Amino acid sequence: MPTAANRVATFGTTIFTEINDLAARHRAINLGQGKPDFDGPSAVVAAAVRALQSGQHNQYAPGPGLPALKQGIATHAAAHYNLDIDPDAGVIITAGATEAVFASVLGLVDPGDEVIVIEPFFDSYVPNIIMANARPVYVPLHPPDWTFDPDELRQAFSARTRALILNTPHNPTGRVFTLEEMILIAELCIEYDVTVIADEVYEHLVFDSARHIPMAALPGMFERTVTIGSLGKSFSVTGWKVGWVYGCPELVAGAARAHQFITFAVNHPAQEAAAFALSLPGTYFEELQAMYAAKRALIMQGLTAAGLKARAPEGTYFVMADFSDVFDGDDIEFAQHLTEKIGVACIPPSPFYSPEHAHIARKQARFAFCKSDDLLKQAGEKLAKLRGQPV
Ligand SMILES: Cc1ncc(COP(=O)(O)O)c(C=O)c1O
């Protein structure tokens, strides 16, 4: 009997699909997946409609990406981070950041290499490493501050380490790594000659005094870093799946070679609209931050009033909360209870840890606040039912 490959034998259904199904079955307010329930800017959507109707953009885009979009990404990196990116050889456009990470792992890591992953991790990283026949090495973040232990980080490095995947601002914890943390990671990567795959899809979602520091901007890091971005996150169009990889041409060339044979080229009209989106004035990002700061305040209020110990995120549109004062079970049981009995869906974070570290997240839940203010208020009212229930 033909069977599926061993390569995918350990891959279960992603927790996002499981929670989405559970939420739909129980008609729960879904604060699970990081998917805005509002539309992207109307001018950007209109640009996509124009591109579709122009008759010029309904065939294959150039494989490495639309030149105007690649230029837009280089201009954005110069304006925001003072990075000098070659728009031709230093950028490729991918099917979302998901493909960007996969193409980077396949193009920059060899079979048998070790890749350091910070836990909790975005769920595609480890399957990507496994599909590249490489080995993940885990460094956990610890609650309540979600910081790594510098000794645990140091111990993860060896002569076998080829790459480290760094996500900042960090999903699911909402951490924005500090300059001190970034420098420690950078110094170790230089010492062990390691490539950084920097997943910075939430670069524009930072709050208060937090500042996003791109890994590629640190001394000695440009030549060993590829940076990944996503149109979906910065412009609330996650369904378009437009992402990118940029950095020094030698490394981008590795990702580009893999990209040619994964998707070859990305949705052409969406790339046209993406180029338009990146040409919006810088005030667009300030308005986005202000909108999300207000949503963060709403979710924090709802979670705190319900008796959860929520940590205000410095970035992203996720908040992690400790539920141990209101529920006596693990994170999977809590997510089920919350969805079925309270009517609010959240994501249990233990699947984002390796089995040996999953206990770290056993009393935590992740809530996404990329939702309308109304929905966040309704969720707060439902969450209030947690108070006064027997623990
Ligand atoms: C950290 C991180 N990386 C990558 C992605 C994937 O982004 P895209 O939708 O552009 O593929 C996500 C989406 O949730 C994410 O949170």
**Ligand 1 center–CA 325 separation, angstroms:** 31
Task: Specify the amino acid at residue 205.
Answer: L
Q: Is residue 272 located within the same domain as residue 289?
A: no
Asked if the structure places residue 123 within a domain, the reply is yes
Is the pLDDT at 247 greater than 60? The verdict is: yes
Residue 279, pLDDT score: 97
pLDDT digits (tens, 9 = 90+) for 340-385: 999 999 999 999 999 999 999 999 999 999 999 999 999 999 999 9
Whether residue 166 sits in one domain with residue 51? yes
Task: Give me ligand 1 centre to Cα 336, in Å.
Answer: 24
- Which atom number of ligand 1 is nearest to the Cα of residue 238? 9
- Could you give the CA distance from residue 386 to residue 339 in angstroms, rounded to a whole number? 12
Residue 98 Cα to ligand 1 middle (Å): 6
Q: Which residue lies with its CA nearest to atom 2 of ligand 1?
A: 122
Same domain, 25 and 85: no
314 and 170 belong to one structural domain: no
pLDDT band at 391; cut points 50, 70, 90: low
Q: Which of 228, 255, 278 is the last residue of a domain?
A: 278
Same domain for 187 and 290? Answer: no
Which residue among 73, 104, 122 is best mutated to probe the pocket of ligand 1, counting the most ligand atoms within 8 A of its Cβ? 122
As given in the structure block, the two tokens for residue 133 are 């026949």
C-alpha 369/C-alpha 8 separation (Å) is 32
Does 391 reside within a domain?
no
pTM (2 d.p.): 0.97
Residues 50 and 21 in one domain: no
Query: CATH no. for residue 329?
Result: 3.90.1150.10
Q: How far is the CA of 201 from the centre of ligand 1 (A)?
A: 6
Residue 165: inside a domain, yes or no? yes
The whole-angstrom separation of Cα 127 and Cα 135 is: 10
Pocket test for ligand 1, best of 118, 119, 141, 201 (most atoms within 8 A of CB): 201
| Centroid of ligand 1 to alpha carbon of 320 (angstroms) | 17
Say if 2 falls within a structural domain: no
Please indicate, yes or no, if residue 188 is contained in any of the structural domains: yes
Q: Residue 147 belongs to a domain with what CATH number?
A: 3.40.640.10
Residue nearest to ligand 1 atom 13, measured at CA: 34
Residue 51 predicted with pLDDT over 90:
yes
Q: How many domains does the chain have?
A: 2
User: What sign for the dihedral angle of Cα 73, 78, 79, 80?
Assistant: positive
Where does a domain end: 234, 254, 278?
Answer: 278
Residue 158 has pLDDT above 80, yes or no: yes
Give yes or no for residue 44 having a pLDDT over 70: yes
256 and 137 in a single domain? The answer is: yes
For 171-205, write each residue's pLDDT tens digit.
999 999 999 999 999 999 999 999 999 999 999 99
Alpha-carbon span 61 to 349, nearest angstrom: 37
Residues near ligand 1 (Cβ within 6 A) = 34, 96-98, 122, 167, 171, 199, 201, 230, 232, 238, 241, 243
Ligand 1 centroid–CA 3 distance in Å is: 30
Residue 4 lies in a domain: no
126 Cα–ligand 1 center, Å: 14
The pLDDT > 70 percentage for the chain reads 99
For the CA of 167, the closest atom of ligand 1 is 1
Does 36 share its domain with 46? no
Q: Is residue 59 part of a domain?
A: yes
**62 in a structural domain:** yes
pLDDT at position 14: 85
314 shares a domain with 361:
yes
132 shares its domain with 262: yes
Separation in Å, CA 98 to CA 55, 197, 235, 244: 29, 12, 16, 10
pLDDT digits (tens, 9 = 90+) for 103-150: 999 999 999 999 999 999 999 999 999 999 999 999 999 999 999 999
> From ligand 1's centre to the CA of 152, what distance in Å?
26
Q: Which domain holds residue 305?
A: 9-40+283-386
Rg over alpha carbons for the chain, rounded to the nearest Å, is 21
| CA dist list (Å): 205 to 104, 296, 316 | 23, 11, 5
Pocket test for ligand 1, best of 230, 237, 240 (most atoms within 8 A of CB): 230
Nearest CA-CA partner of 29 in 386, 342, 384, 387:
342
Q: Which atom of ligand 1 is nearest to the CA of 232?
A: 10
Condensed to tens digits (0 to 9), the pLDDT of residues 253-273 reads 999 999 999 999 999 999 999
Could you tell me if 274 and 297 lie in one domain? no
- The Cα 239–Cα 257 span in angstroms is 25
> Are 376 and 369 within 8 A, CB to CB?
yes
Mutate to test the pocket of ligand 1, among 98, 244, 263 (most ligand atoms within 8 A of CB): 98
Instruction: Single out the residue in 248, 278, 308 at which a domain terminates.
Output: 278
34: CA distance to ligand 1 center in Å? 9
Separation of CA 112 and ligand 1 centre (Å)? 26
Nearest residue (by CA) to ligand 1, atom 16, is 171
pLDDT in tens, 280-328: 998 999 999 999 999 999 999 999 999 999 999 999 999 999 999 999 9
Does residue 235 share a domain with residue 134?
yes
Residue ranges of the alpha helices (H) in 192-330?
231-235, 249-260, 268-278, 283-305
